[in-house]
Amino acid sequence: MRCVILGSGNIGTDLMMKLHKGTDASGSGATPLELVALVGIDPASDGLARARRLGFEASHEGPGWILDHADEVDLVFDATSAYVHKAHAQEYADAGIVAVDLTPAAIGPKVIAAVNLTEHVGAPNVNMVTCGGQATTPMVYAVCRAVDSLPYAEMVSTVSSRSAGPGTRQNIDEFTKTTSTALREIGGADTSKAIIILNPAEPPIMMRNTVFAGLPEGTDHAAVLDSIHQMEAEVQAYVPGYRLKNRPVIETGPYSTPGGVVPHRAVILLEVEGAGDYLPPYAGNLDIMTAAAQRIGEAIAHHSAAQKAGAQA
């Protein structure tokens, strides 16, 4: 599929560098995504300058450029902000362009690459949730699939202030709402809470995530821990720097949560080291978002190819 990246900031530029490698998200075969252009609004942005040096079309005309070239574009990765995506999502759909939304706008169905990768590949618009959502929802889901019910899940993502561009900063409220919703809709929790912290420490810290999951009475603790370790490996298939910071533990309470009192809770500490495609490895929040977006875009491309092959047959 011919694709365009909208947004020449940190996220869009990191995704461009990944697609420039020409390999799929697992780093093995060739990607079925052909990058046509990087589009932004700042003609002096570093992202557009890099795109030109790499030989890609680089425009500062924003969404208008994409709509003017709709016959050359099959898919747009929107790495701008929630309000920009909301303003133009219908225009992309009307032009027949599939949108992979990397903002917290949440117009289309939410997709977490390690959990429901192929569930919405035929949708005209899919939402990538947030970097924190891509990092922590898989672990909430890992706990949920090992228990009869999951009354509560909570996540805290801490990222370096240097890796948070203006779009991320403008969307803090949307981040917490969309991430919290994903913990329920995809992770399987009955109630949930999400927090993001931008840490200004120097040198910059690695992306770190904490997950608390309330466990009901009678839970098989060994099965929960096994599921967590299995999920770590599943995410590492496309984000090698994703890892448990230490051994996950199950603590004995009782604990009072918005989902009620629970006798135990799982505590999971995660770290995400970036691949260093654009910003240095501390920017794991970029890496997990863009690697997941590439994987989802590739799943959409494979689905589209299968649909076309079926129609021709």
Catalytic residue positions, numbered:
131
Q: 33 phi and psi, to 5 degrees?
A: -105, 125
- Residue 79 · residue 15 · CB < 8 Å: yes
Amino acid identity, residue 109?
Answer: P
Residue 69: CB partners within 8 Å, gap ≥ 6?
Answer: 4, 36, 37
Token duo for residue 249 = 């533990």
SS3 of residue 238 by DSSP: coil
Name residue 162's beta-bridge partners. none
Instruction: For strands 152-160 and 191-199, give the pairing.
Output: parallel
Query: Which candidate, 117, 28, 32, places its Cα nearest to that of 309?
Result: 32
Distance between CA atoms of residues 188 and 253, nearest Å: 22
Distance between CA atoms of residues 82 and 201, nearest Å: 27
